[in-house]
Structure 1
Amino acid sequence: MPANRPVTEEPRLLVTRPPRRRLRRALALALPVPVIGLVLLVAGGNLLLPLRQVVTIEAKMASKRDFFQDPEVERLLMKHGFRVHITSMGSREIANQDVDGYDVVFPSGQPAADLIARERAEANRPALLYRPFVSPIVLATYRNYAEALEDHGIAKPQQGSGDRPMYYTLEMTPFVNLTRQGKRWKDIGIERHGVRNSNKILAQTSDICESNSAGTYLGLVAFVENENDAPNDEREAAAVAEDIKPLLVEQGLPGSERAETYLSPDGQSIAPISVIYEHQFLAHQIRHQAQEGSTDDERVLLYPSTRFVTEPQLVALTDDGARLGELVSEDPELQHRAMELGFRARNTNSGTSGDTAGDELVDFLTERHIPVPTTSSNDTRAVLPPLPLLEQMIKTVGDCPDRKDDAK
């Protein structure tokens, strides 16, 4: 080769690695769809979910559907192979309609569950009962109304509740007397607390013909009016029902919607005092603390000095329903989640009697700077009338139609 001839370099092929994002995309396009799904399931830790048979539970539920509609509860149930399809209605409505075709029904209190269990037993189709958690009946109000009642010694802050208490004890006899006398909020000086209200003083309930909370409050008022004794025969029950009928207001709302009204921005102008469940109030405070960094200081609870321990009962009508009832009653994760939603879960040492909050619930609320409710050992323990008499009183006070025939 001549010495003066230029030297030509061999061409070089430069190989570069595509960015990781582009590589993943290319692989995804190249892989079959089932393989992609497997990769995503492994990455998400849900590999076994598609391989597990998912059982859809058909359920009728009242206010305790709050628990089953929680996204975390839905996830935990799915992990165990359950999906719950809910038909919503009031507790007595559940008891007074046909339950064929359902796996579980979950009225919010014992009377409606007892009605269902009794009728199933008479038809030789027994049902299993589960009590996964407790949520006492409370009267939810606003600070200015509680302070007006406090001025007259009718509401008293719970012990150790500080300058701005969240929980009060409501003396039931003088409160019922205010209602009986037709007293209005202006008569007890509500204007001194920045509110103008000429409406009568009473506790607004949901539909007595449909709701457990309303029926339970009826039983509470009847107990107080009957000199701290439950009516024990038909004649006495009928007389007490007629006597207290003017003291109770039917709003035509399911129990959960009564809570939604109370928690709405316009709740104070609609109903200054509403009968709801404790878990609905605590769940609101837990959410408010998480979102706003503080509790809702203007909403407070009145705990009746004469009180019931309400135990909602999940009624299992099928084998799948029984499996669900056992799961929500025994599974530690579901029981813990119930506590996080404001319930007094039975298997987490969280106040299973319904009287006081247990250690775990106390710790949970305290860690989030939410006051812990307590009740006094001096409070009177009320007793509901026997089931047939309570049904008779509810029908009298609410002018309730017999819906059994309509449902057939």
Structure 2
Amino acid sequence: MRRIAGIVLAVLLIGGVVAAVVAGRNDQDKGTATKTVQGVIGSEKAEFFADPDVVKALAAKGYTVKTETSGSWAMEGLDLKGYDFAFPSSQAPADELADKYHVRQPLPRPFYSPLVVVAHRSAAQVLAANGLAALDKNTGTLKMAAYLDAAEHDRTWQQLKGAKAHGELSGTLYITTTDPDTSNSGALYLAAASYVADGGRVAADTAAVERTAPLMHKLISVQGAQQSSTDAAFRDFISGAGNPLVLVYESQVAALLAEGQDVGDLTVLYPDTTANSDHTVVPLTPQGRSLGELLSSDPTLRELAVRHGFRPQGATAEFTAATASHTAYLNQKLTGVRQAPVPASKVLHEMARRAGN
């Protein structure tokens, strides 16, 4: 009898262990991703998706996200078969991809970032002294019409009042950008510049491209070899290398400030006419659309996006609160900044082609 009771007890104990293991696995599964989605993203979002806190937040919602980087405008030339989503840095290349892959609208747009020009303090002060910028502490406004006039007349730093006191300011005055043929920020730079140069008209056809083509060519050709991503250009600037004026995303500056890194004599100039980079998800599968909607709506992921410098769509308060200690560098409310409409993809492609030839 004792032997039978012992066997029964052993069976019960084993059953309890098995039940505990199963329960443990079930509990573990609740915090573990169950769906793997793969996408192609703009390089400026690579650090966001690699952030362990973002990985954890996505896993809590049942996702493992694997990404590869590409220039936003170069995505159109990729074979995206087998991918769940593409995530370019603005709406124009996203709409192009949506048409190509017959993706239904609307497309999720989780966050955005305005384009800014980072400058060393000496360069910003010289621009301000010559009517090309207005400064307030470590931020200010770049006067696009005045800057484009200087570019059209091939002005050099040496021709600007006060530049002689700064040996690093020499040669032609220009803003370093990425390649507009493949990179979103470079293309948006042309969109904003052409809008200003053509009297506040958005380029809608070949004739409009023709009107500004000589100036757009000057803006690009003076740069020589261009980077394919803003990440590389921004790193060069922070390290003290390269041109004293570089076009980057505000998100890159905001993320650096959030990390508490030393930014030296960094000055952030917001062009008075600029173009926002609307980071737009192109869902290629239902899982890709679910991910895009999650990035837009989940409070934790929105908070993490702000930590990486992005402005969540539809809620300025989140960005304002998170950057409250960095107002010396950031124009939180984008005061005095006008948003330039972006030409249709086909027109912008032609503008970039003419600018580079």
Q: Could you list the per-position Cα deviations for residues 374-404 of structure 1 after superposition, in whole angstroms to 9, with x for gaps in the alignment?
A: 45655443222233211211122235xxxxx
Q: 1:178 to 1:370 in 2, by over 3 A?
A: closer
Shift of the alpha carbon at 1:103? 0.4
> How many angstroms apart in 2 are the aligned matches of 1:74 and 1:191?
50
Q: Which runs of 5+ in 2 are unaligned?
A: 1-16
* 1:327 pairs with 2:300: no
Distance in 2, matches of 1:109 and 1:71, equals 25
Say which of 235, 239, 247 aligns to 1:260.
Answer: 235
Q: Which residue of 2 aligns with 1:299?
A: 266
CA distance in 1, matches of 2:90, 2:327: 30
TM-aligned CA deviation for residue 57 of structure 1: 1.4
Deviations 1:88-119 (A, max 9, x none): 11000112322211101011011110111122
Counterpart in the other structure of 1:205: 177
Q: Does the CA contact (< 8 Å) of 2:144 and 2:271 recur in 1?
A: yes
TM-score by length of 1: 0.75
SS in 2 for 1:196: coil
TM-score when scaled to structure 2?
Answer: 0.85
The aligned counterpart of 1:251 is: 226
Structure 1 equivalent of residue 28 of structure 2: 48
Out of 184, 187, 193, the position equivalent to 2:156 is: 184
Q: Superposition pairs for residues 13-52 of structure 1, below 5 Å?
A: 47-49=27-29, 52=32
- Alignment-derived partner of residue 313 in structure 1: 280
> Which piece of structure 1 moves more, 311-320 or 233-242?
233-242
1:202-254 alpha-carbon deviations (Å, 9 max, x no partner): 11111111101000001111112112212232123134224421112350322
Letter in 1 for 2:244: P
The residue identity in structure 1 corresponding to 2:159 is: D
Contact 1:231 1:240 in 2 (8 A): no
Distance in 1, Cα, partners of 2:78 & 2:186: 18
Note the residue ranges of structure 1 that are not aligned, 5 or more in a row. 1-33, 159-164, 290-294, 351-358, 400-408
Task: Give the whole-Å Cα distance in 2 for the aligned partners of 1:376 and 1:317.
Answer: 33
Instruction: List per-residue Cα deviations over 1:61-88 (Å, max 9, x = no partner).
Output: 1122332122211111122221211111
Letter in 1 for 2:274: R
The answer as to whether partners of 1:242 and 1:397 remain within 8 angstroms in 2 is yes
The 1:323/1:306 distance shift into structure 2, 3 A limit, reads: same
Contact 1:120 1:126 in 2 (8 A): no
Deviations 1:138-180 (A, max 9, x none): 111111111111111211124xxxxxx1211010011112222
Counterparts of 1:125-164 in structure 2 under 5 Å?
126=104, 129-158=107-136
CA RMSD across the alignment: 2.7
Shift of 1:368: 6.8
Whose relative contact order is higher, 1 or 2, with alpha carbons under 8 Å and at least 6 apart? 2
1:98 corresponding residue in structure 2: 79
The answer to whether the 8 Å contact 1:127/1:315 transfers is no
2:49 match: 68
Q: Is the contact between residue 137 and residue 277 of structure 1 (CA under 8 Å) also seen in structure 2? A: yes
Going from structure 1 to structure 2, the CA distance change for 1:78 and 1:239 (only over 3 Å counts) comes to: same
Which residue is equivalent to 1:161?
Answer: none
The worse-fitting range, judged by mean Cα deviation, of 221-230 and 50-59 is 50-59
Aligned partner letter, 1:54:
T
Query: Is this contact kept in 2: 1:238–1:392, CA < 8 A?
Result: no
